Amino acid sequence: MNYSNSKYWDCCAPIAGLLLTLSFAPFDYSCLAFVALVFLYSSWQNITAKRATLRGYLFGLGTFGSGVSWVYISMHDFGGASVIGSSLLTGLFACFWAIFPALAGYFSVKIIGLNKGQGQIVLIPLLWILIEYFRGYWLLNGFPWLQIAYSQLETPLAGYIPIIGVYGTGFVVALTASIITDIILPSTRTYSSCNFRLGQLKHPLQYLFILAILWTLGGLLRHQTWTYEIGQPLSISMVQGNISQDQKWKPENKITTLLKYKKMTEEHWDSKVIIWPETAIPAFLDQVKESFLNPLENEARLHNTDLIISVPVQETTPLKNYNAVITLGKNQGIYRKSHLLPFGEYQPLQPFSGFVLDLIDIRLGDFTPGAALQPLLKAGGYPFITMICYEDAFGTLSRQGLPEAAYLVNVTNDGWFGDTIEPHQHLQMARMRAMETGRYLLRSTNTGMTAIVSPKGEILKLATSFQETVLTGTITPMGGMTPYGKLGDKPVIWAMVVLLLGLLLSKRIFN
């Protein structure tokens, strides 16, 4: 087949991108991640860098156009934008992030030249993950959505997560797809007498043997326990108020909201820890502290219960707004969200972003980030790591405070996205944080996906979405450290950079 002239590959690229979306929650067809990547890698064989860039971009349009379509709901249903404005923003959002698969295509073909040498089997996955890292960690405060490792939480490859995290596991996923591509399209490679060796891996059985080792090892590692129990089980209650985002901040609803959370809390004073979701209180802390929170705290102390409550905080000199979590009970403390959501809690690329949002009449939050390092909050007698909303998408944040932290708490409000795939994707990402750290995760939400997650990433309990309820259960405080908890992402990323440079400096990959 003449790859450079085949238009079928171009037309099918967005479909392959859609298949990648189907590998994530709530669909969870994890095998489709490999189908999508194998198609994409195959489409990059023996073509120009320009054509590979186009196919990567079309693939990205399929992935992000379907995978983040919930942006429209946020903008239109709850942001107040028009149909045209919301559609425009959602389209621009998908078009922007589609650039990154395009970059992977460009560099994969450009660096390898005419695609000669078996170094390509490793090089393409390296480029894919390093570009994922740039997208997910650096650019615009990071957008780690739809990273390929999240599609594999139920497969044997999940065994790698507590060791090498999202990027290392993603590399194994990409490497698997690259090896499969080489098996089914052997004619796309040419080898010289001084090609990349490692036993002259030309026979499909040798590749299958490597895949068997990778997947068997991952399966065995899933049974490995890295952390241990350090105390008695704690009884937990998480209040899901189910207050629609378009009603939450109306002044006339404030008292009703406060009384609802108070009543639902008083019905569970037998719990050691009670958690409210992100910005459960539709007012600043100083507006409700004396009249509402202080009496509630006194009652909590009488019942030997600790409260974890999310409330916005305003400081007046100078004027600063924080998205925060406070603890009430035996131990008082406050955590101010440090990793803010771009275009949601602050506007990057000013003044351009502000001009565009004003043009389509959308008003978004204006928050100040808290300090990168803050003291751990404590509830139920143990310190815990706090993650507010979007922060649970970053492994680096979930390991700050280890090994002292005994469990993780994530408060979020996915009510912004209605009944879409976003809350399911968000919970899937949060589950990886439990696996990376070897700790229980308590995830309290406003409208849905309130959950208790085990250190293995299993959903032990899940509240019904869009229902006023209190999710109760128990967790066990955990100690110890996973390898990822000790080292984080940097060793994996640096190893990839060194390996990439080694391949680039070796003439073998060009032979």
Q: Which residues are catalytic?
A: 278, 337, 389
Rounded-to-integer distance, Cα 433 and Cα 396, Å: 9
In the sheet that 382-388 helps form, which strands lie side by side, from edge to edge? 377-379, 382-388, 407-412, 441-445, 451-453, 459-462
Cite the DSSP H helix spans in 185-253.
204-221, 245-248
Kindly report the CA angle at 42 between 41 and 43, in degrees rounded to 5? Answer: 90
SS3 254: helix
* Residue in 134, 142, 485, 96 with CA at minimum distance from that of residue 339: 142
Pairing of strands 234-240, 306-316: unpaired
- Indicate if the alpha-carbon torsion angle 262, 268, 273, 277 is positive or negative: negative
Q: Give the span between the Cα atoms of 243 and 415, in whole angstroms.
A: 8
Q: Could you write out the three-class secondary structure of 160-182?
A: HHHHHHHHHHHHHHHHHHHHHHH
CA-CA distance, 63 to 143, in Å (whole number)? 14
State how far the Cα of 236 lies from the Cα of 247, in Å rounded to an integer.
Answer: 28
DSSP annotation of 79 reads T
Contacting residues for 31 by C-beta, under 8 A, at least 6 apart: 23
Cβ(345)–Cβ(353) below 8 Å? no
Task: For tokens 């942001």, name the residue.
Answer: 79
Q: Distance between CA atoms of 90 and 94, rounded to whole angstroms?
A: 6
Strands 273-275, 407-412: pairing kind: unpaired
